[in-house]
């Protein structure tokens, strides 16, 4: 009998290059912070996870990791008891991130130890390829102080946006297109969407102002958005504010900001605010909690898709296995993956083709660590002079007068 007990949990913070992408909070910093989690069983099987690499999550993982020894990798109840015990004063938000990071590695270890894929452990595959969407950002041509433009160049106008989309669709074959908004004046962003519609007549479009619009602004914009987008993501702040908007339109509202942990579900259902949940196993509490969320969406008749942050291939593989085991995935998933140039897994970047990722082959998540790459990316992390994400300060290097506001417009 395989010994499924955990012998060791290792966490390695990494940093990888990220382009100067814009959003309602500011501008992405030159390096994105992540953590790579290894759960090693008594038999030497190593399960992998990937999560946030910011200071609070790393501190939480450091507290929880030694407490995981001796637990079976199947024991998710035990994981959450130990997480609560290791982080007695942490907010739910952090508890879910820390426990969820290790949970994914437990599934991977179980799969690798028993020669089963994670998709099988999560209930079986309903698809072998998972559809993703093009994720467009406004962006600067280069990071502040950089010597040359990145390959994507500046994207601030509708024409540049169409160019970015064309390149991304050509390269990856995406069907749906999402625009990260809340950056420019709403009129300018909707002009960008309309330019995308003209260039891609059949593409399902989405826009995500990240809570950057006032309720009255959004209500005024609805006539232009209806018929243009398949969903409207987090137009304004909070469940109550978005409920006002949802009551005024048939365009479904989606969220990855205001229904982000289980306790947000009851008020969302009671107020009929968001009709699409963009799940994310990194903050929802791992793969099991995300499967639970998908069942809740099915029962309550909500749409379901998947949110993304800047990430490597371990996260992409986990998202794909989860999505492949989820019957009611009603929209193509988001991913930042095309924006990343580096990779921490053996074989380099996973191939997104025809707008979809085929599940990596092999047991567990189907990916293994490239330890040279891990060491290099960990070196990046150690060389950085920041350990939290701060889009606002980064934005001020480009646009000193930029004002943060949520809602802003």
Among 197, 298, 358, 397, which residue interacts with its own copies (rule: CB under 8 A)? 298
d(CA 259, CA 274): 8
Considering only residues 157 through 196, tell me which ones interact with its own copies, judged by CB under 8 A: none
Fill in the per-residue mask, 271 to 290: x = in contact with its own copies (CB under 8 A), - = not in contact. -----------------x--
Cα-based angle 173, 18, 161 (whole degrees, multiple of 5): 50
Binding mask 98-137 for its own copies (x = CB under 8 A): ----------------xxx---xx-xxxx-----------
Residue 219, classified by CB atoms within 10 Å of its CB into exposed (0-12), middle (13-18) or buried (19+), is middle
How far apart are the C-alpha atoms of 56 and 77, rounded to whole Å?
A: 23
Task: Establish if 223 lies at the interface with its own copies (CB under 8 A).
Answer: no
Stretch that binds its own copies, among 170-178, 247-255, 260-268, 371-379 (CB under 8 A): 260-268
Residue 150 found at the interface with its own copies (CB under 8 A): no
362 binds its own copies (CB under 8 A): no
Total residues contacting its own copies by CB under 8 A comes to 34
Nearest CA among 258, 277, 1, 18 for reference residue 146: 18
User: Shortest Cβ distance from residue 80 to its own copies (Å)?
Assistant: 8
Q: Phi/psi of residue 165, each to 5°?
A: -65, -45
Based on the shown chain and the rule CB under 8 A, indicate whether residue 325 belongs to the binding site for its own copies.
Answer: yes
Number of helices and strands (H, E) in the chain?
14, 15
Asked if 180 is an active-site residue, the reply is yes
CB of 198 to its own copies, least distance (A): 39
* Residue 221 C-alpha from the chain's centroid: 27
Dihedral angle at the C-alpha atoms of 372, 377, 382, 387, nearest 10 degrees?
-150
Could you say whether residue 74 binds its own copies (CB under 8 A)? Answer: yes
Specify the stretch interacting with its own copies by CB under 8 A; choose among 54-62, 240-248, 264-272, 385-393: 264-272
383 sits near its own copies (criterion: CB under 8 A):
no
The residue among 191 and 296 lying less far from its own copies, judged by its C-beta, is 296
Span from 75-83, 199-207, 303-311, 349-357 in contact with its own copies (CB under 8 A):
75-83
193 closest CA partner among 274, 273, 138, 248: 138
CB atoms within 10 A of CB 216: 11
């Amino acid at each position: 009998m395989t010994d499924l007990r955990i012998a060791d949990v290792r966490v390695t913070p990494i940093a990888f290059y990220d382009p100067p992408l814009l959003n309602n909070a500011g501008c992405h910093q030159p390096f994105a912070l992540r953590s790579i989690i290894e759960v090693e069983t008594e038999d030497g099987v190593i399960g992998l996870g990937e999560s946030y690499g910011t200071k609070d999550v790393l501190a939480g993982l450091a507290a929880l990791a030694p407490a995981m020894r001796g637990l079976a990798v199947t024991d998710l109840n035990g994981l959450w008891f130990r997480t609560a015990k290791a982080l007695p004063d942490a907010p739910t938000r952090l508890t879910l991130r820390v426990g969820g990071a290790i949970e994914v590695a437990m599934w991977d270890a179980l799969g690798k130890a028993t020669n089963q894929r994670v998709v099988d452990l999560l209930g079986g595959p309903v698809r072998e390829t998972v559809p993703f969407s093009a994720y467009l950002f406004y962006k600067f041509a280069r990071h502040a102080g950089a010597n040359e433009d990145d390959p994507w160049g500046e994207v601030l106008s509708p024409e540049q946006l169409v160019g970015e989309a064309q390149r991304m669709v050509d390269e990856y074959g995406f069907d749906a297109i999402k625009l990260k908004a809340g950056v420019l004046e709403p009129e300018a962003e909707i002009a960008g969407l309309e330019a995308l519609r003209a260039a891609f007549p059949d593409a399902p479009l989405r826009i995500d102002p990240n809570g950057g619009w006032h309720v009255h602004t959004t209500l005024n914009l609805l006539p232009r958005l209806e018929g243009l987008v398949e969903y409207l993501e987090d137009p304004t702040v909070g469940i109550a504010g978005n409920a006002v908007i949802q009551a005024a339109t048939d365009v479904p509202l989606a969220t990855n900001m205001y229904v982000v942990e289980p306790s947000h579900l009851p008020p969302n259902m009671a107020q009929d605010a968001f009709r699409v949940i963009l799940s994310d196993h990194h903050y929802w509490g791992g793969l099991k909690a995300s499967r639970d969320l998908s069942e809740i969406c099915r029962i309550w008749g909500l749409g379901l898709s998947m949110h993304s942050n800047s990430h490597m291939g371990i996260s992409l593989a986990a998202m794909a296995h989860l999505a492949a085991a989820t019957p009611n995935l009603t929209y193509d998933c988001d991913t930042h993956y095309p924006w990343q140039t580096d990779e921490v897994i053996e074989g380099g970047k996973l191939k997104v083709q025809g707008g979809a990722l085929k599940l990596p082959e092999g047991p567990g998540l189907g990916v293994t660590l490239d330890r040279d790459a891990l060491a290099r990316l960990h070196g990046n992390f150690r060389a950085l002079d920041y350990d939290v994400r701060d889009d606002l300060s980064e934005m001020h290097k480009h646009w000193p007068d930029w004002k943060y506001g949520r809602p802003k417009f």
